[in-house]
Amino acid sequence: MRVALVHDFLTQYGGAEKVLEVLHEIWPVAPVYTLFYDRKSLGNKFKNWDIRVSPIQNLPFGVSHYRWYLGLMPIAIERFDLRGYDLVVSDASAYAKGALTHPPTKHICYCYSPTRYLWSDTYDYLNGLRGAEKIFKKFLPPLLTYLRNWDYLAARRPDKMIAISNFIGQRIKKYYNFDSAAIIYPPVETDKFYISSDIQDYYLLIARLRPYKRIDLAVAAFNKLKIPLKIIGTGGDAGLYKLAKSNIEFLGSVSEEKKREYLAHCRALIFPQEEDFGLVAVEAMAAGRPVIAYQSGGALEIVKENKTGVFFKEQIWESLAEAVIKFDLNNFDPVKIKESAGKFSKKRFKEEFLNFVTTQIKSF
C-alpha cells in the first residue's frame, strides 16, 4: 500500500512534530508533503526523510516570514500531486487537511484543532501582531475571511477526520458542522520519563513564549508568591523577561533529556493555558509529578483532580496563586500518577490509529 503523509509545515519541534514522527514510524517509507521546511532550526530532526515542500519554500523569506504568504498557502497545499497513493494521512492544525486526493485514495486527517487564528483565536491573533507585522493588520480581516471560507470547505475533503481530544471534537462540530469519526489521544513516550525521590523546591512551566500560553499568569502569580519557578521555552513574548522577578528563571530551549530531568525533580507542573490536548501535562505525569492546570480544554481529559493534579477555575493570576498556596505535595502518589499517564502511551496510539485505518481501508 502506497502511503503519503501531509503536514502543515516544519519550522519548529513541538507536539505536532512528535506525532508526525510516530506516524512516520508506522509508515517509514512514506514521503512527507509540507508547505515549507526550516532545516536550519530543526537540525538533524527529519534529516533522512523524504520531505517534499511547496513553492513557498523558495519565495523570499518564505520560511522565516511565512505569515507574509498566508494567502498563498491554500493554493500551495493544493499543488501537491497525490495521485497514485492508496492512503493519505494528514495531521493538521491548519492547511494539511486541504490536500487534494483522487477517488481511489483514502484520506484520513488527524486534526489537532480547527485553525485557531481563523476561528477561536482570531481577535487574539490580530491583537498579538508585533513590530512590522502591524502594517498588515488593516489588510488581514478580508484575507482571514477568505481563508476561513477555504478552511470550512477544506475540512470536508478528508474521508474521515480524527480529533485529538473530546474538546477538539466539540470544536470540529462547532466550526465545521460535522462529527469527527473518532477520538484518538496523541502519543507520548511515557516510558522515557522517570520518577525521582529527590523533589526540589521549584515549580516548572514548559511552553513556547506566546500570549495564548498565558505564561503571564504564572509570572504574575509567582512574583507575588516569591516561590521559585523555572520556565522552559522560547518565543517572541520578550516582555515576560522584564516582568519576572529573581525567583523566576527562564531556561530557554533545553534538550529532551534535560527536560525529563527538570520534570522529575519539580514539585509540580504549572499549566495555565487552554490547550487542545496538553502533551506536556502527560509528560509531567509520566515523571510522577502532579499538574496544576487551568480547568478547561484538553487538561480536563488528562488531569484527575486530587489524584494526578489540581485545577484552578479562573484564568487569572489570583486563581492560580490560590491553587499553588493550597497545593499539598503529600496528597499525591508519584507511582499512581505515572500509571495514569500510561493510557496516553505511544504504543497505545499506534494500535488505535492502525486499527482505525485498517477498518476504514476495508470499508472503502
Cα 108 from Cα 121, distance rounded (Å)? 25
Q: Averaged over 329-350, what is the pLDDT? A: 97
Task: Quote the pLDDT of residue 173.
Answer: 98
Cα 190 from Cα 283, distance rounded (Å)? 7
Residue 125 near residue 48 (C-beta atoms within 8 A) = no
Fold for 3-187+346-363, please state it: Rossmann fold (3.40.50)
Backbone angles phi, psi at 109, to 5 degrees: -110, 130
291: helix, coil or strand?
Answer: strand
Cell of 276: 487542545
Task: Quote the pLDDT of residue 127.
Answer: 72
Residue 304 near residue 211 (C-beta atoms within 8 A) = no
Task: Quote the pLDDT of residue 262.
Answer: 98
- Residue 265: pLDDT band (50, 70, 90) is very high
Percent of the chain past pLDDT 90, that is, above it, reads 82
* Largest separation between any pair of C-alpha atoms in the chain: 61
At how many degrees (to 10) do helices 215-225 and 317-326 cross? 60
Task: Quote the pLDDT of residue 136.
Answer: 66
Residue 288 near residue 179 (C-beta atoms within 8 A) = no
Residue 309 near residue 257 (C-beta atoms within 8 A) = no
pLDDT digits (tens, 9 = 90+) for 210-236: 888 999 999 999 999 999 999 999 876
Fold for 190-342, please state it: Rossmann fold (3.40.50)
Domain regions of the chain by residue span: 3-187+346-363, 190-342
Q: How many residues does the chain have?
A: 364
pLDDT score of 29 more than 60: yes
Helix H or strand E segment including 111: strand 106-111
Helix H or strand E segment including 163: strand 160-163
Task: Quote the pLDDT of residue 128.
Answer: 66
Percent of the chain past pLDDT 70, that is, above it, reads 96
pLDDT digits (tens, 9 = 90+) for 96-136: 999 999 999 999 999 999 999 899 888 777 776 665 555 66
Task: Quote the pLDDT of residue 145.
Answer: 94
105: helix, coil or strand?
Answer: coil
C-alpha dihedral sign at 6, 11, 16, 17: positive
pLDDT digits (tens, 9 = 90+) for 268-300: 999 999 999 999 999 999 999 999 999 999 999
Domains 3-187+346-363 and 190-342 share a fold: yes
Are β-strands 182-183 and 160-163 bridged in parallel, bridged antiparallel, or unpaired?
Answer: parallel
The whole-model pTM stands at 0.89
Q: What is the dihedral of CA 76, 77, 79, 85, to 10 degrees?
A: 160
